[in-house]
Amino acid sequence: MKLVIVAQVAALIHCLRKQIVPRLLSISRAARLVGTSRRELQQRVQDGRLQSFEGMIRLDDLHEQYPDIQLEDTTMLAHIEAIVEQALVRAREGRGRGDQTATPDLETLSRRIAELAFELAEAKLQVSNHVILLEKIKSRLSEGARGTKPELAGQFTAMLEWLHDEISQLDGKNRTHAALTARDSVLRVIAAQVRLLPSGHEFFVPGSDSILEAGLSAGLALDYGCSNGNCGKCKARVLSGEARQLRHTDHVFSAAEKEQGYILTCACTAVTDLVLEAREASSEDDIPRQLITARVRKIDRSSPDIAILHLRTPRTQRLRFLAGQSALLQFGELEARSFPIASCPCDDMNIQFHIHYEENDEFAHAVFERLSTSDSLVVDGPLGHFVLHEGEIRRPLVFIAVDHGIAPIKSLIEHALTLDACEEVHLYWLSRARPGHYIGNVFRSWDDAFEAFRYTPELIGDELDAEALTARITADNPGLAQRDIYLAGPETTNLAIEYALLDAGIPPARLHRQDM
């Protein structure tokens, strides 16, 4: 009898530890739960402070690392109440599924809540069964403690006291876990998580955004074409979870594809957490060249000799590119000119170019003197190989821009920060004239906002001391030879800096150069 009771107690304690709260969270969801970055949690995993099980983190370990998390924060509850109210308002007003909003629509919201309600019912049933079993075990132990043999009675009494102590400890721990789980449930209503295979990339789908829109906004290079449900290039297979179609599509799936659970990511949102088998671009060779007519949205005269050109593509024909690439621009009958794209691929409808004024440049004259927001340009691209690759993003990065070489560098940095995977990013912007740091306020704001980003503006005058610059960069960035360095600017200046870096022991494979 004693062995049976011991086995029952051990099994119950194991079940209580395992079932009352979810044991494992993805790194992305854990980061959102405690209000930190994925990079920070990944660093703790690498340092051995956190254990990871196939990309998942135990709730126990997470709370041990962040014991001071505010569990009684009511702002999340207020946020979820606001989401419900907005969804009801949109439903009453009869707004269509194409309405773009930061909150889920009523149907998506109700299905997410229904899933959580089902999980809660399952958990309550498990707890109820455990409570019944626990009371039976307590009763059996109490009967044993009242037995006639003193030596057995003492053992039963000690076991009963141990059981009470274990339950007390579990109760305190599970109250904390319950608060964390409640916060996680709110986050799951606000946004569903998508995991892509085979890459393992993760992102969240806020509101009623399409899966494609959310993935691009997260900096991922998902495959797509028309973005309008016609071409089928964005199709992906649902391995687990539930997606819902947002808008009508003309693409026709084969019977086999329907059976296997294929969807169009441009036309569907995530109702619950999803695992998708989807194509992603792993290099610049995976992205086709495109010809797009884009409208001039705005022209900023940031300095006397720089115009920042903002173009907007049609919704159904966006420019797909990788950060750091270039495109040919053609205006009227003027010869097409190649310029680096200065914006992030995460916003593929709004693309940016920095146009440098030169006296003998007809295209630059047209931009500064004739171009207006009523005009359109032809964009032909993307072109070039000055891009970040998967392994490089996860290493410390150093960027060196000379004058208007900042354009492709800005695109690369913005992409790296969007991915939230880079360990450290340091930008050096070298300018020959004092007003040369024409968007320095952007990088200063990033320096304030991102722990991983540092910005160092430099005035170099007409003569660059490349050796002194290299010594400065080496001192600022310990282990420089283990970092990837991206360099963009005029060819002669680039060469001087490159030779100095190579002389300082930087491996050629770690050095990437873009001549302007």
Indicate the SS3 state at residue 107. helix
| Same domain, yes or no: 157 and 23 | yes
| Same domain, yes or no: 318 and 415 | no
Specify the pTM: 0.76
* Last residue of one domain, picked from the residues 364, 383, 402: 383
| Same domain, yes or no: 73 and 169 | yes
What's the pLDDT band for 87 if we cut at 50, 70, 90? very low
Mean pLDDT of 119-131: 68
| Same domain, yes or no: 15 and 97 | yes
Confidence check: pLDDT of 498 > 50: yes
Q: Determine whether 175 is exposed, middle or buried from the number of CB atoms within 10 Å of its CB (0-12, 13-18, 19+).
A: exposed
* Last residue of one domain, picked from the residues 253, 277, 301: 277
What's the pLDDT band for 455 if we cut at 50, 70, 90? very high
Confidence check: pLDDT of 133 > 70: yes
Q: Within a domain: residue 461? A: yes
Confidence check: pLDDT of 101 > 50: no
Q: Within a domain: residue 252? A: yes
Identity of residue 183? R
User: Rounded to an integer, what distance in angstroms lies between the CA atom of residue 301 and that of residue 112?
Assistant: 47
CB atoms within 10 A of CB 334: 15
* Last residue of one domain, picked from the residues 221, 253, 277: 277
Q: Within a domain: residue 199? A: no
Mean pLDDT of 241-254: 91
What's the pLDDT band for 84 if we cut at 50, 70, 90? very low
CATH number at residue 437: 3.40.50.80
- DSSP-derived secondary structure for 24-85: EEEHHHHHHHHT--HHHHHHHHHHTSS-EETTEEEHHHHHHH-TT--TT--HHHHHHHHHHH
Which tens digit of pLDDT belongs to each residue from 42-70? 778 877 888 877 677 877 788 778 876 65
Confidence check: pLDDT of 333 > 60: yes
The lowest-confidence range among 44-58, 148-162, 258-272, 369-383 is: 148-162
Which tens digit of pLDDT belongs to each residue from 153-202? 777 777 777 777 777 666 655 555 666 666 676 677 778 899 999 998 99
Structure tokens at 125: 């049933």
What's the pLDDT band for 149 if we cut at 50, 70, 90? low
Confidence check: pLDDT of 107 > 80: no
| Same domain, yes or no: 435 and 459 | yes
The whole-number pLDDT of residue 165 equals 74
Q: What is the mean pLDDT of the chain?
A: 82
Q: Which residues contact 129 (CB under 8 A, 6 or more apart)?
A: none
| Same domain, yes or no: 177 and 234 | no
The whole-number pLDDT of residue 44 equals 83
What's the pLDDT band for 436 if we cut at 50, 70, 90? confident
The whole-number pLDDT of residue 180 equals 66
Structural domains of the chain, count: 4
Give Cα 325 distance to the centre of its chain: 21
Mean pLDDT of 102-130: 67
User: Rounded to an integer, what distance in angstroms lies between the CA atom of residue 330 and that of residue 326?
Assistant: 13
Interstrand relation of 290-303 and 306-312 (parallel, antiparallel or unpaired): antiparallel
Confidence check: pLDDT of 267 > 90: yes
What's the pLDDT band for 117 if we cut at 50, 70, 90? low
| Same domain, yes or no: 125 and 37 | yes
What's the pLDDT band for 121 if we cut at 50, 70, 90? low
Asked if 423 and 43 count as a contact pair (C-beta separation under 8 A), the reply is: yes
Confidence check: pLDDT of 324 > 90: yes
CA angle 273, 95, 97 (to 5 degrees): 40
- Domain encompassing residue 229: 209-277
Confidence check: pLDDT of 297 > 80: yes
| Same domain, yes or no: 236 and 307 | no
